[in-house]
Amino acid sequence: MSELSHLELFSGIGGFHRAFDLLGIDHNLEVPCVGYSEIDQQAIKTYQANYDVSSSVDLGDIISFTENQETIGKLPDFKILTGGFPCQAFSMMGFKNGFQDERGNLFFNILKILIEKRPPFVLLENVRNLVTHDKKRTFAIIRESLVGIGYHIYFDIFNSNDFGLAQKRNRIFIFATRESLPSTFEFSQNKIKTVFDEFLKINTHSLEIQRDVLDVLDRTVNDKKYFLSERIKPTILSDGTGSYYSKSMINCLIARPLTATMVKLHRANQDNYYSLEFLQSKDPYAHAFLHQSTYNLLEKEIRRLTPKEALLLQGFSSDFYGNAIKKRVSEFQLMKQAGNAVSVNTVYAILYYLFVYNGL
């Protein structure tokens, strides 16, 4: 396999970069990151604390960077462009304005780089709702735009829980290539999961692999800032207010999708909360999925995830967390960054399937 050089756009804390690094370690590959683009200064601190960026171009704001075609042309050549491009415009949680939203239009800045640099491969990530947004017109524009500049398009919805992470997180991954692949080539969650499962059985690797959240959760967290106060506990544990109803559950063995907003308190039917009784029980599985109507949770000590646990649930390591802390990235920011991140294991599984298993 030739050098697997990559350009990471909308890098955040480098979920794609981390997957490439681990793939390189496990399979003795050269995986240089030629450049990265991010505007969140705290995310950049975490990124630079964990990756060697001495040979990488810092693109900064992609809007400013892509204003000049000559500037784009000066980028080093690379084999694959990656990016979890901003999803607020497409998210079910957002305003659903699609390309009318400035953040949605950032897709076209990706196109400017693809037109100028013409890398053979592209791998993009977004919320699953991208496929159906605006009666499927939004995704049709994305697909037609990529096809129009010479790419063949493949896509599917991937759940991070199927790739060794104790978090249910469904995201669309779009794979685009200038190469004509055989008619037998398949890009699907089921196929890639099958290949990934076989890989795990017979190979040593550098991934974080979790059966459930008990492989991640710290049983001895003492910092009271992570525990629900007596005042807020009834609100968090309620089944909703007014006409809104949703069953409040805690101690879920597979975490709900992490979000950037989990730094603020939400309801136990939206975010992840765990009782001290569950965490310290000799048989924690007996306490899983308990509902307040049958269990007096108001009398229990209950806490939210820590930033370290959130990062682990996205496939980052304890060392990754520690490196960011050493650079004085706050725990508040790390929680936000974890919620925004791309799941490392999912990307690794896709990259392994494409470039090791299929030898692209």
Among 62, 71, 50, 45, residue whose Cα is nearest residue 10: 62
Structure confidence at residue 286 (pLDDT):
79
Amino acid at site 271: D
Structure confidence at residue 13 (pLDDT):
98
Look-up of token digits 């104790």: 166
Structure confidence at residue 288 (pLDDT):
72
Token duo for residue 33: 């990151």
286 burial via Cβ count (<10 Å: 0-12, 13-18, 19+): exposed
Structure confidence at residue 300 (pLDDT):
85
* Residues marked as catalytic: 87
Structure confidence at residue 79 (pLDDT):
97
Structure confidence at residue 49 (pLDDT):
98
Structure confidence at residue 149 (pLDDT):
96
Residue spans in the chain of domains classed CATH 3.40.50.150: 6-209+342-357
Structure confidence at residue 95 (pLDDT):
46
26 burial via Cβ count (<10 Å: 0-12, 13-18, 19+): middle
Structure confidence at residue 293 (pLDDT):
47
Mean pLDDT, consecutive 10-residue stretches, the chain (360 aa), reads: 88 98 96 97 98 96 91 95 77 50 74 96 94 85 93 98 98 96 96 97 94 95 91 84 76 93 84 91 77 63 95 98 97 96 98 96
Q: What is the CATH number of domain 6-209+342-357?
A: 3.40.50.150
DSSP letter at 294 equals T
Structure confidence at residue 94 (pLDDT):
47
